[in-house]
């Protein structure tokens, strides 16, 4: 991709991101003109006057919609960034954070936290994100060690370990739901994925993981490009293959864990977005990683807007919306991959 086209692409994406922020805040049960939304946002950095804006409107924008939209951007960017990393690292377009089993680990942790909280056991505030995060990290640790053979982690073995562990963890979740009785509804809504009832607390929880994760993954974009040629070729070109694989797996898993821990199970974002961006931008991870993050942020926010307005005042969990979009896309990729194998 030529440098001029790269600058143009990112310019368009940043403009789309800004428009998405303003319009997504404006759309809702209480319609707010985009101009008023922009006025309130600018006032927070000393560039606007909100003397003519009602206090309730300011509260709706600043306390309800803005943190939800920003969190949607962070979660979408995190899942897409992790998905692009997993697909490049495993050289498989069907790989995403959920294939690896990280989300299933987060789901087990969150399910346990929801059950404990509804049973009246509350160890500390914001217990659910902490439990989900620990569950995801432990799942990745177990999958990695299960796949390790003689100090190395073959790609195929890692994928198989992820699928097997995910199935086992899903069985644990089902078992917990069977015995949860009236608490099943809360577990179901979390597993469906959503951004409802989220606040600035969740935003500040995810933000540092995304920033640090992006910096590390982008720093290793060159190594990811070389790994696309195969591990043996990467070794000859001076890449520390096993160390790089370990580091990128851990960082991408932590980014995923942080996102899933505050949003629940929002699937297919890490599968759809990187693949779509790769078609336009090519396989160069120096472009693919940041572009996937931006497109993922935009995609998830609009999916959430649809989820909260399609059957208003009822809200559809955004994970259901992304599944409706992502499942046919996954089938398309699977069929395409089967045709490639035949050829």
Burial of 84 per CB tally in 10 Å (0-12, 13-18, 19+): buried
pLDDT tens column, 303-342 = 999 999 988 788 888 988 998 888 787 777 667 655 554 4
For the ranges 16-20, 132-136, 194-198, 238-242, the one whose mean pLDDT is highest: 16-20
Q: Which 8-state DSSP code applies to residue 60?
A: I
Residue 306 to residues 122, 142, 319, 324, 329, Cα–Cα distance (Å): 34, 37, 12, 12, 19
Closest Cα to residue 262, out of 22, 73, 23?
73
Residue 176 has pLDDT above 90, yes or no: no
Q: State in Å, rounded, how far the first CA of the chain is from the last one.
A: 28
- Residues 36-50 pLDDT 10s: 888 888 887 777 777
Is a pLDDT exceeding 70 seen at residue 209? yes
Residue 110 reports pLDDT greater than 90: no
Q: Based on the number of CB atoms within 10 Å of its own CB, is 270 exposed (0-12), middle (13-18) or buried (19 or more)?
A: buried
Residue 343 has pLDDT above 50, yes or no: no
pLDDT at residue 82, as a whole number = 93
Is the model's pLDDT at 126 over the cut of 80? no
Q: Which residues touch 239 (CB under 8 Å, ≥6 apart)? A: 223, 226, 227
Q: Is residue 263 within 8 Å of residue 146, measured between CB atoms?
A: no
pLDDT at 225: 92
Integer Rg of the chain from CA: 21
């Amino acid at each position: 991709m030529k440098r001029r086209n790269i600058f143009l692409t990112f310019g368009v994406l940043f403009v789309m991101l800004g428009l998405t922020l303003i319009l997504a805040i404006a759309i809702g049960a209480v319609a707010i003109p985009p101009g008023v939304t922009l006025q309130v946002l600018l006032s927070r950095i000393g560039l606007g006057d909100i003397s003519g804006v009602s206090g309730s409107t300011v509260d709706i924008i600043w306390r309800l919609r803005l943190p939800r939209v920003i969190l949607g951007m962070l979660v979408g960017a995190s899942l897409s960034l992790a998905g692009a990393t997993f697909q490049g690292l495993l050289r498989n377009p069907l790989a995403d954070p959920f294939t690896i089993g990280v989300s299933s680990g987060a789901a087990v942790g969150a399910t346990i936290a929801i059950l404990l909280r509804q049973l009246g056991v509350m160890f500390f505030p914001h217990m659910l994100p902490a439990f989900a995060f620990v569950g995801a990290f432990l799942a990745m640790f177990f999958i990695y060690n299960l796949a390790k053979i003689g100090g190395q982690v073959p790609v195929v073995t890692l994928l198989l370990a992820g699928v097997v562990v995910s199935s086992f963890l899903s069985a644990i979740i089902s078992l917990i739901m069977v015995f949860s009785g009236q608490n099943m509804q809360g577990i179901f809504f979390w597993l469906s994925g959503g951004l409802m009832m989220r606040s600035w607390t969740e935003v500040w929880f995810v933000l540092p993981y995304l920033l640090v994760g992006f910096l590390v993954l982008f720093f290793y974009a060159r190594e990811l490009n070389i790994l696309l040629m195969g591990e043996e070729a990467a070794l000859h070109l001076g890449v520390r293959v096993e160390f790089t694989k370990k580091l990128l797996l851990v960082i991408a898993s932590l980014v995923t864990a942080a996102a899933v821990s505050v949003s629940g199970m929002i699937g297919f974002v890490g599968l759809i977005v990187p693949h779509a961006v790769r078609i336009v931008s090519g396989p160069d991870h120096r472009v693919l990683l940041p572009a996937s993050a931006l497109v993922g942020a935009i995609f998830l926010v609009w999916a959430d807007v649809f989820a909260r307005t399609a059957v208003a005042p009822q809200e559809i969990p955004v994970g259901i919306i992304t599944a409706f979009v992502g499942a046919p896309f996954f089938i398309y990729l699977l069929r395409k991959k089967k045709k490639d194998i035949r050829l």
